[in-house]
């Protein structure tokens, strides 16, 4: 078993085959001939049920009731596994199981041999959920007559709100807002290792332009996942950085400059909290200081999670000197009925050169994709009153996860076994996102102008 604390890099998303969306399962195209028996697939469902029943740290909070009663209900999912379509039944059972757990760290992913042969697909747009409306957040091409900020009224003939509600129930997150935002991102992504989704070559949208004019357009599904964040969501972040730290094939840290209302602003964008280190951050801060900015903005929109060490490193870099002490809660399996036991851990990390520590004004900008390690960084800054936060609430994922490989199908099942909480915080992160000081859904420049005007 591989343990990952607050890391979401391998998180893969799926588009659910829900009839209300005009979507149908495509399970047979993934595993037309599987070597597994009905019994083997059923055993894997039961294994996932056993893990939830005996080890899920949020069982009482998210599910409640008697563990034995839940286990019996969970085992009944094996009835979905019918002879002749064992694989399809397994997929439907796993989808149902996932829908019962409103937790952004719960995840499942098929073994590669069962993934779609055609690979991942994406639409040439990315959508977001803003003010109870589905809007276009980014476009790959203007060929389809769709522009950023267009409102999507209908998706394959269904009202957008009902589509989002259904998608949010398919993969519920730790908060209602993050569930809807991730549902909006999921609409334009079909993962190879999530064997359900639209089989249509085109997706038909009814949109309303900013002028008020309405039109219908069809979008094709294109090869590959498109532009995604470091934890697998469709990414709407498009700024070209002046300086960039790249690890492997992934961008890790970005730095660029803005000038707003005669203020020189440096923008630091960590794309996650696990693929960069103190030396990387030190290099960007050294470069940043050459430009003598008035304000440092840490852009956490679409930032993936990670581990606590980078959280502490970045906090130290903006002059937060307090030690980051975490309270861990986990089930005590030695008891007849599992009990929650807690312990404190002092997070240690490397630091940047003292000459590069930023002592000036700090602004954070967040959105509901900022989760896990990103949640904790934003909360730690807030607790230390080190900067103002603008944007929209964070994701509210606080558990981290462990990966389990189900015995027969080798499906990866990810489940939180421990809750993490900042010792001095009155609230946990799980289910309690970081709320901004100034709410703003517009682009970074607009939000900063609003902030500067409000702050005088």
In angstroms, the CA 391 to CA 137 distance is 15
- The token duo for 41 is 């697939």
Assigned fold of 121-223: Pdz3 Domain (2.30.42)
Q: Domain 243-399+418-455 is in which class?
A: alpha beta
Measured from the Cβ of residue 36, the count of other Cβ atoms closer than 10 Å reads 18
For residue 259, the SS3 value is strand
pLDDT confidence of residue 4: 38
pLDDT confidence of residue 18: 35
**Residue 218 phi, psi dihedral angles, 5° rounding:** -115, 140
pTM over 0.75: yes
Q: Are 312 and 347 in contact (CB under 8 A)?
A: yes
- Domain residue spans in the chain? 2-113, 121-223, 243-399+418-455
In angstroms, the CA 302 to CA 269 distance is 10
Strand 412-415 and strand 418-422: the pairing is unpaired
Which H helix or E strand runs over 451?
helix 444-455
Residues whose CB is less than 8 angstroms from the CB of residue 33 and which lie 6 or more positions away in sequence, other chains included: none
Q: Are 173 and 191 in contact (CB under 8 A)?
A: no
In angstroms, the CA 153 to CA 157 distance is 9
Q: Are 428 and 327 in contact (CB under 8 A)?
A: no
Which H helix or E strand runs over 314?
helix 308-317
The parts of the chain modelled with pLDDT lower than 50 are 1-29, 31, 33, 197-198
Return the CA Rg of the chain: 22
pLDDT confidence of residue 9: 31
Alpha carbon 230 to its chain's center: 9
CA-closest candidate to residue 173, choices 231, 134, 228, 260: 231
In angstroms, the CA 423 to CA 240 distance is 38
Q: What's the CA angle centered on 428, arms 364 and 345, to 5 degrees?
A: 95
- The token duo for 287 is 């470069």
In angstroms, the CA 143 to CA 448 distance is 32
Paired residues of 254 in beta bridges: 244, 269
pLDDT confidence of residue 239: 64
Strand 412-415 and strand 107-109: the pairing is antiparallel
In angstroms, the CA 31 to CA 317 distance is 50
The phi-psi region of residue 233 (left if phi > 0; otherwise alpha if psi is between -120 and 50; otherwise beta) is: beta
- The token duo for 453 is 């005007």
CA-closest candidate to residue 288, choices 377, 445, 280, 387: 280
């Amino acid at each position: 078993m591989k343990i990952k604390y607050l890391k979401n890099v391998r998180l893969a998303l799926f588009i659910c085959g829900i009839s209300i969306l005009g979507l149908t399962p495509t399970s047979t195209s993934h595993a037309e001939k599987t070597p597994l028996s009905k019994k083997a697939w059923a055993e894997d469902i039961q294994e996932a049920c056993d893990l939830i029943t005996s080890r899920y740290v949020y069982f009482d909070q998210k599910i409640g009731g008697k563990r034995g009663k839940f286990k019996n209900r969970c085992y009944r999912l094996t009835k979905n596994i019918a002879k002749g379509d064992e694989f399809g039944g397994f997929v439907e059972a796993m989808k149902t199981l996932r829908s019962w757990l409103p937790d952004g760290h719960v995840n499942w992913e098929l073994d590669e041999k069962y993934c779609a042969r055609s690979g991942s697909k994406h639409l040439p747009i990315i959508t977001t959920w803003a003010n109870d409306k589905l809007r276009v957040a980014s476009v790959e091409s203007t060929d389809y007559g769709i522009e950023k900020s267009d409102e999507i009224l209908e998706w394959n003939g269904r009202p957008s709100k009902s589509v989002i509600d259904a998608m949010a129930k398919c993969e519920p997150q730790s908060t209602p807002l993050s569930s809807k935002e991730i549902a909006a991102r999921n609409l334009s992504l079909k993962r190879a290792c999530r064997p359900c989704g639209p089989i249509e070559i085109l997706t038909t949208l009814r949109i309303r332009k900013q002028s008020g004019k309405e039109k219908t357009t069809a979008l094709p599904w294109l090869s590959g996942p498109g532009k995604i964040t470091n934890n697998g969501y469709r990414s709407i972040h498009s700024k070209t950085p002046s300086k960039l730290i790249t690890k492997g094939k992934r961008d890790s840290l970005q730095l660029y400059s803005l000038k707003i209302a005669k203020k020189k602003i440096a923008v630091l964008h960590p794309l996650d909290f696990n693929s960069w280190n103190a030396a990387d951050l030190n290099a960007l801060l050294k470069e940043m200081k050459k430009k003598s900015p008035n304000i440092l903005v840490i852009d956490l929109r679409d930032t993936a999670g990670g581990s606590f060490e980078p959280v502490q490193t970045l906090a130290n870099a903006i002059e937060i000197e307090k030690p980051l002490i975490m309270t861990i809660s986990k089930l005590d399996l030695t008891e007849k009925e599992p009990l929650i036991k807690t312990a404190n851990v002092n997070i240690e990390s490397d630091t940047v050169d003292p000459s590069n520590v930023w002592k000036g004004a700090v602004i954070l900008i967040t959105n509901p994709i900022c989760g896990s390690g990103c949640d904790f960084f934003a909360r730690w800054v807030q607790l230390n009153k080190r900067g103002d936060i603008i944007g929209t609430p964070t994701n509210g994922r606080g558990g981290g996860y462990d990966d389990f490989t189900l015995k027969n199908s080798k499906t990866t099942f990810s489940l939180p076994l421990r809750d993490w909480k900042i010792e001095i915080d009155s609230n946990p992160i799980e289910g309690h996102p970081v709320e901004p000081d100034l709410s703003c859904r517009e682009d970074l420049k607009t939000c900063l102008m609003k902030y500067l005007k409000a702050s005088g």
